[in-house]
Amino acid sequence: MSKTKILKQASVLLVRDVHASADYFVQKCGFKDPTFYGEPESFCMLHRDAAELMLREAPKDYIITPHWKVIDCLWNIYFWVDDVESLYEEMKAAGAKIDYELCDQPWGCREFGIQDLDEHDIGFGQIMQEGEG
């Protein structure tokens, strides 16, 4: 068995406009330090706390299909958080497009979802303690 550890994880989204998408994640979702690569710039890396997000601009004629359009209610990304209610209020106040409101799920999470500019569903959930909800 390997003793090598995976140290980090990054989610990757295909987007129509890498600059507009990065701006959305910074302005509406609290991500930071967008760094662009390529000539012309077509790739971006940004982060929020320990979460890394990579954005790659798709070819102009490519049709981006979010997961929920293939399988109903399926996210493209799901982030676990430590205070989902505060994050919900923060993103709602910042103008993020709320896909579904804060709710308790049967799998023991309180969660909500947003959509980005390309309609990717992104969920944020917190594991509920016994007796919550």
Helix and strand numbers (H, E) in the chain are: 2, 8
Residue 91 counted as domain residue: yes
Where does residue 126 rank: exposed (0-12), middle (13-18), buried (19+ CB within 10 A)?
buried
Half-sphere exposure at residue 19, Cβ-oriented, CA atoms within 13 angstroms:
3
pTM, full prediction: 0.91
Q: What is the CATH number of the domain that holds 119?
A: 3.10.180.10
What is the C-alpha separation between 29 and 112, in angstroms, rounded?
13
Half-sphere exposure at residue 87, Cβ-oriented, CA atoms within 13 angstroms:
22
Residue 5 counted as domain residue: no
Identity of residue 123:
G
Residue 102 counted as domain residue: yes
- Per the structure, how many domains does the chain have? 1
Residue 32 counted as domain residue: yes
Q: Are 112 and 92 in contact (CB under 8 A)?
A: no
Identity of residue 133:
G
Handedness of CA 50, 52, 11, 76 (dihedral sign): positive
Residue 18 counted as domain residue: yes
The pLDDT tens digits of the residues spanning 31-71 come to 999 999 999 999 999 999 999 999 999 999 999 999 999 99
What is the C-alpha separation between 45 and 52, in angstroms, rounded?
7
Residue 3 counted as domain residue: no
**How much is the pLDDT for 2?**
84
Domain assignment of residue 121, given as a range:
10-127
Residue 133 counted as domain residue: no
Residues in the chain: 133
**How much is the pLDDT for 32?**
98
Residue 4 counted as domain residue: no
**How much is the pLDDT for 68?**
95
**How much is the pLDDT for 74?**
94
In the predicted structure, residue 132 carries a pLDDT above the cut 90: no
